[in-house]
Amino acid sequence: MTKFFYRLFFICFVLFLTGCGRTSPRHYTDTDTAMGTVIIQQIYAKEDFTDEVLTCIRRLETESLSKRVEGSEIFDINGEAGKEAEIPLTPEMEEVLSRCLEISENSEGAFDITIGEVVGLWDIDSWAGMSTDNPDSSFRLPAQTELSETLALAGYEKLTLENHGIRVPEGMALDLGAVGKGIALDEILALLQEREVMGAVISVGGSILTYGEKPDKSPWKIAIADPENQGGSIGVLTLTGQCCVSTSGDYERYVEADGVRYHHLIDPATGYPAQSGIRSVTILTKNGFLSDALSTACFVLGEEKGMELAERYGVEALFVREDGSISMTEGMQSYFSLSKPEK
């Protein structure tokens, strides 16, 4: 009888070991492009979900968020600008737009998705960290009058969002460039939660999602780019579980002309790239939409008001000032470690 039990125990133990081998997660990686930026995925799971994640981002881009893609919901909304009748919205778009309006109100208009025409006037899509020294550059500084006229068409307070529809005034264009990648992180998170994923870190341009854990249980390490030298980093965030990290920086998209750097973070008060005394803002929170929207808003607001906005939303923020020095919310200090002595 005892022998029988020993045998049974041995068989169970062998089955347990084989089972472990079969079910242990593998490390899948993928690098691709979508939303005009690079998507880098690292997923620890039993199956490869990287294609599904990419499809999810591209579907969001082409069906909903990209003002450049004919047939997307935002493209169609912009096409209906100036019409008397309300443009009907999907529940998802209604939620996105109302959350955007709330951030606009709370940031005193520093964040404003109605500046699409101003963004178009600067031709930001054609910038990729290039300089006008580049002979291919087609950069043209918009004339002041042209800029003022275009800016006059913008203004979030002119939007009417009611009855599950929106009215967009003539000449206005909506641009979700400041939140699209964060929205993508939230969709990806929902997808990973539905699948058997042990852990993942997924970067959609300047917005990064961490989820779950690695097989060795070590924390996620997210580097924050050095605005002076993007190959390097100013420091690292040590994170566990689900986090969203978004950085808005003046080095991401810019043109230099006559010694001036024109970047893609526009101050809706002037129509010019924001001059708020900082080079970058990093926001850490659990929600992708918030991290992306607030990184843009805080950049435009600058350190003092940006810090207040971050505290109001209960998110962590880190600012890199123009002189390279750093300031951050108290909570951020427990995640951040410096990779070089502060200037």
CB of 292 to Mg ion, least distance (A): 4
Shorter beta-carbon distance to Mg ion: residue 46 or 286: 286
CB of 16 to ligand FAD, least distance (A): 47
Shorter beta-carbon distance to Mg ion: residue 37 or 137: 37
Output the residue with the shortest Cβ distance to Mg ion: 296
Query: Residue numbers of the site for Mg ion (CB under 5 A)?
Result: 178, 292, 295-296
- Mapping DSSP to helix (H, G, I), strand (E, B) and coil, where does residue 120 land? helix
Alpha helices of 177-264 — where are they, by DSSP H?
180-194
Query: Residue numbers of the site for ligand FAD (CB under 6 A)?
Result: 35-37, 61, 65-66, 68, 111-113, 115, 119, 124-125, 175-178, 180-181, 205-206, 248, 252-253, 264-266, 268, 292, 295-296, 300
In 3D space, the residue among 36, 63, 75 whose CA is nearest the CA of residue 174 turns out to be 75
Shorter beta-carbon distance to ligand FAD: residue 43 or 204: 204
β-strands 229-239, 336-338: how paired? antiparallel
Q: Which does 42 bind (CB under 5 to 8 A by kind): ligand FAD, Mg ion, none?
A: none
Shorter beta-carbon distance to ligand FAD: residue 50 or 282: 282
Shorter beta-carbon distance to ligand FAD: residue 50 or 107: 107
CB of 115 to ligand FAD, least distance (A): 6
Shorter beta-carbon distance to ligand FAD: residue 18 or 275: 275
CB of 133 to Mg ion, least distance (A): 28
The label of the residue with tokens 């566990």 reads 240
Q: Which does 121 bind (CB under 5 to 8 A by kind): ligand FAD, Mg ion, none?
A: none
- Mapping DSSP to helix (H, G, I), strand (E, B) and coil, where does residue 79 land? helix
**Burial zone of 68 (CB within 10 Å; 0-12 exposed, 13-18 middle, 19+ buried):** middle
CB of 284 to ligand FAD, least distance (A): 15
Report how far residue 183's alpha carbon sits from residue 310's, in angstroms, rounded to the nearest whole number.
18
Provide the strand spans (E) within the chain. Answer: 26-34, 37-45, 87-88, 130-131, 160-162, 165-167, 197-204, 207-212, 220-226, 229-239, 243-249, 254-257, 260-263, 278-285, 316-321, 326-328, 336-338
Q: Which does 177 bind (CB under 5 to 8 A by kind): ligand FAD, Mg ion, none?
A: ligand FAD
Residue 196's CB is within 10 A of a number of other CB atoms, namely 11
Both tokens assigned to 208: 């990064």
Q: Which does 124 bind (CB under 5 to 8 A by kind): ligand FAD, Mg ion, none?
A: ligand FAD
Both tokens assigned to 144: 């002041």
CB of 281 to Mg ion, least distance (A): 9
